[in-house]
Amino acid sequence: MSSLAHRIYIAILSGIVIAVAIVIFYYGFPYYQTELEQRFYHQDHNVFKPSGFIGHGLGIIGTLLIVLGVASYMIRHRAKSLARMGLLKHWLEFHIFYVP
C-alpha cells in the first residue's frame, strides 16, 4: 500500500468513527442528560440502555472488531505469503488505533 493510499485509508476510517460518534451523541444527548433515576421513564430508554439496541449493538460490534483486529494482525505477522499485503507497521497501527 502506498503512502497516499494509506493516508486515504486512515482518513476514511477516522471519518467513519467520527460520524458514528456524532450521530450517537446527537440522538443520545437528551437521554444521557436525564438523571439516572429518570432514565427508565425516558422515551429512548429501550434504545440507549446498556442492554438496548445501541448499547448491546456497540458491545457486539466492539467485540467483533477486537477479534478481527487481533486475528488479522496475527495472521499477517505469521504468514509469509501475506508479506505483500501492506507494511506490518500499518497493520499494527490499525490494530492499535482502530480496534477498541
Which long-range contacts does 20-29 make (Cβ < 8 Å, 24+ apart)? 24/54, 28/54
Name the band, by pLDDT with cuts 50, 70 and 90, for residue 35.
Answer: very high
Q: Give the global pTM.
A: 0.60
Domains identified in the chain, total number:
1
Residue 23's nearest CA partner among 51, 50, 58 is 58
- Per the structure, the complete domain to which residue 66 belongs is given by 3-98
One-letter amino acid at 11 equals A
Q: What is the pLDDT of residues 52-70, one digit of tens each?
A: 888 888 889 888 878 887 7
SS (H, E, C) 51-63: CCHHHHHHHHHHH
| Residue 80, pLDDT score | 78
Amino acid 19: pLDDT: 92
CA atoms in the 13 A half-sphere facing the CB of 43: 3
Give the containing element (helix H, strand E) for 75. Answer: helix 53-78
